Structure 1
Amino acid sequence: MTTRWRLAPQSILFAVFLGALAALPPISIDMALPALVDIARSLHASSSQAGLTLSLFMAGFAVGPIVYGPLSDARGRKPTLLLGLVLFTMGGIVSALAPGIGVLLGARLVQGIGAGAGMTVALAVVRDLFEGNAMQHRLAAITVVANVAPIVAPSIGVGLLAAIEWRGIYGVMAVCGLLAALVTWAGLTESAPQRSAGVAVSGLRDGYRRVLTHRAVIGHILINGFGFGWMFAYVAGSPLVLLHILHVRPIVYAAMFAMTGAGIVAGATVNGFIGARGFESRGILATAICITLAASFGLIMLSVLHRTSLLTVMPLLVASTFCFGLAAPSATHGALDPIPQLAGVAGGLLTSVQMLCGAASSSVVALLFPALGIFAMSGVMAACALLAGMAWIWLGRRGGIETPSAVADVNPASSV
């Protein structure tokens, strides 16, 4: 009798699979960026309507995890993930075949809702199967894979646009969703610690009440959200600052953007390295927040002193994105660890808050830039870092996640 193939939790392939799930949203956003002009022209729409294909995707992605989290706790990780991937795939197919801008916008909303399952379930699965250092190491690996995606996605989008036009880009997204669904169906073993026959409203309410009133969970969710906020303030402000104020060439801007993206990957890699050597999460978070505060206020001082240049600005921006990569795995670990049986709810809330903070910070930068210039970006970055620091203080010593020496790195469920 042949043994059914499955993804082994300890394997590199398993870590890559979880990272790929988390990378679906940034790939789906950034890969479509080069196609916006062609979409507007092809569907006889305005540029603002074409831009809504990104906004509606992000709106769906922000809302979806609120449902997927408790659904995965009650009905299981695997069926919840399959539901999301089916929605993502169908949204991609309809987007590729859309006859008009209205259909495309609706399909992108559905695709965003589907994409929300990837990150939510990936985080919950990690909490189900790993503990201690092993859990933080897996979270760092997911952060690395998920943040490599937005670095390479625009270049992939440009190549696909030249080869198969904008509809082909959405077709490739659908293929990615289908492949992820097939791997999930064939190789993912259910990891939820307990499941029920249905999802009662009272159960949802109780689950969110427990998460929302747990100081350690909420404190770490806020730190992660504000960290994503300072990173997205940079993402929104960087083309305005580098292209319109510092007047760098587009190819130089692309290289600088890749450099800051590499900073995120480096930060997550360092987190996994020092976390495996017993550094406590509270100290890691404090270090990341303090460095970001220093870098943000450094950017403000450079503007006040009229010393802004590519050489003075870029090290501070790389430091800020490095610190998000450094903080994110520890913040995620702290949000998921305290209530294992509600890892789906906590992961869904963390994902939604992260996206909302990113959307809010980038919108504020765009709104204030015409009046404040570079201060809009550096000011929002500083504000997000200050809010993260306040959340860290509110968290208190008891909110710190210590590495328990007596706990095994891998949960017994991982060997089932």
Structure 2
Amino acid sequence: MSIQQRTQYALILGMLAALGPLCTDFYLPALPDITAHLQVATSVTQLTLTASLVGLGLGQLVFGPLSDRMGRKVPLLASLVIFILASIGCAMATRMPDLIVARFIQGLAGAGGAVLSRAIARDCYAGPELTQFFALLMAINGVAPIAAPVLGGLQLALTGWQGLFITLALVGIAMLVVVFTQLAESYPPQRRQKQQGNMAASFIAVMRERRFMGLCLVQGFMLAGLFAYIGASSYVFQSHWQLTPQQYSYLFALNGVGLIVFSLGTVKLSGRWGEKPVLVGALVLSVIAAVILLLCGVVGAPLSVIVPVLFVAVSINSAVCTLAGAMAMQAQGQHSGTASAFLGTLMFIMGGVSAPLTGIGGTSFISMGVVLGGSYLLALLSYVLIARKA
């Protein structure tokens, strides 16, 4: 594959992987408006985030194994068509139950881009190249958390929250055209013919690998912490610190920059010191940052102290997830689509569960810090007790 083809694939796969963050981040500034417009409780509106995250997880159970048998391109095109229709459904929703269902289907369809971008990368790369490509995917993917809330906040003032979902439908249409015209099939028929058994057998095969499972749990718990921040931060910073939707989007974008910087820095550090030591160091740093963040909330630290600590606590997530995801996929070849599906399903379901936990007893900075810190600690324990011993 030439450098030009490699760059083209990185951009396309990065945009496909970004469909997940777009589902979750683009409409975040509108959560308070949706709550008021549909006249529901804050915790009920947060279920729209949970629904999309669960959909993003469960959808990978369909598109991943299916791509091991049909190839990557056809399931990917189907997922984009469903994504477009679901986004239009979100914009047309007039009741909260309708919006929650549409968000679930939107997440289910968005899972196609998430799982198949990893599977296609595994088809084309292995070893250190795969780690570098994962980091590049996460860097490109990191543009979504930066741009999405900012653009969402700007559009919110012009079109209302329904217009945000129309924009997502237009993004889906653009991606459908790009994939159809520019993305070649990466999983040829001769490789598909080697696939034997049913989906259950494929999942059992990957689940038997202790190291793979341990690294899946590491990434899953880390993203559970990240989604606790995503789900609660809009309420915490706009209510407690009285930030406007636009100011909040800038804060969210700052942490998105950190995700990119830490992801790219991870590649250089792992090339010098090795993947394992860097992963362990990043896990330890994540727990330390989360503990400090929680203490800041307990003592009532000012926003000027909260912001830099939060920056580290959020940004370190990409370092851990880049390495854990690449190391988990490196051992997968024949069942790469299934392995990618399991990896993605676990992390999005765990993220979907963690988001509403911050709203129990009322969403606050403390509740956000407790869920984030607890998730990071469980990620460290998953590596020490499961992955490291494999």
Query: TM-score per shorter chain, which class?
Result: 0.7 to 0.9
Which stretch of the first structure deviates more once superposed, 50-59 or 262-271?
50-59
- Equivalent residue, structure 2, for 1:281: 275
Which stretch of the first structure deviates more once superposed, 48-57 or 321-330?
48-57
RMSD: 3.0
- Equivalent residue, structure 2, for 1:140: 135
- Equivalent residue, structure 1, for 2:339: 346
Residue 332 (str. 1) matches residue 325 (str. 2)? yes
> In the TM superposition, what is the alpha-carbon distance from 1:249 to its structure 2 partner?
3.5
Residue 76 (str. 1) matches residue 71 (str. 2)? yes
Structural mapping, 1:3-18, within 5 Å: 10-18=5-13
- TM-score, normalised relative to structure 2: 0.87
**Using the alignment, how far apart are the partners of 1:384 and 1:52 within structure 2?**
20
- Equivalent residue, structure 2, for 1:23: 18
- Equivalent residue, structure 2, for 1:172: 167
Contact 2:231 2:355 (C-alpha < 8 Å) held by counterparts? yes
Structural mapping, 1:86-101, within 5 Å: 86-96=81-91
Per-residue deviation, residues 378-400 of structure 1 (Å, max 9, x unmatched): 3222221221111111245575x
Q: 1:162 to 1:381 in 2, by over 3 A?
A: closer
In structure 2, which of residues 221, 225, 240 is the aligned counterpart of residue 230 of structure 1? 225
SS at the partner of 1:144? Answer: helix
Contact 2:149 2:249 (C-alpha < 8 Å) held by counterparts? no
Contact 2:293 2:313 (C-alpha < 8 Å) held by counterparts? no
**Using the alignment, how far apart are the partners of 2:33 and 2:250 within structure 1?**
24
Structural mapping, 1:370-409, within 5 Å: 374-397=365-388
Contact 1:89 1:173 (C-alpha < 8 Å) held by counterparts? yes
> In the TM superposition, what is the alpha-carbon distance from 1:34 to its structure 2 partner?
4.3
Q: 1:10 to 1:272 in 2, by over 3 A?
A: farther
Unaligned runs of 5+ in 1: 1-5, 400-416
SS at the partner of 1:341? Answer: coil
- Equivalent residue, structure 2, for 1:154: 149
In structure 2, which of residues 348, 353, 356 is the aligned counterpart of residue 355 of structure 1? 348
Structure with greater Cα Rg: 1
**Using the alignment, how far apart are the partners of 1:150 and 1:315 within structure 2?**
18
Aligned residue type for 2:64: G
In structure 2, which of residues 98, 106, 111 is the aligned counterpart of residue 111 of structure 1? 106
> In the TM superposition, what is the alpha-carbon distance from 1:243 to its structure 2 partner?
4.7
- Equivalent residue, structure 1, for 2:256: 261
Q: How many residues align?
A: 385
- Equivalent residue, structure 2, for 1:403: none
**Using the alignment, how far apart are the partners of 1:375 and 1:98 within structure 2?**
33
Unaligned runs of 5+ in 2: none
Residue 310 (str. 1) matches residue 303 (str. 2)? yes
Per-residue deviation, residues 114-139 of structure 1 (Å, max 9, x unmatched): 11100100000111101122211111
Per-residue deviation, residues 350-407 of structure 1 (Å, max 9, x unmatched): 111111222222222221556xx544233222221221111111245575xxxxxxxx
Which stretch of the first structure deviates more once superposed, 336-345 or 175-184?
175-184
Aligned residue type for 1:140: A
Aligned residue type for 1:158: G
- TM-score, normalised relative to structure 1: 0.82
- Equivalent residue, structure 2, for 1:409: none
Identity percentage over the alignment?
Answer: 28
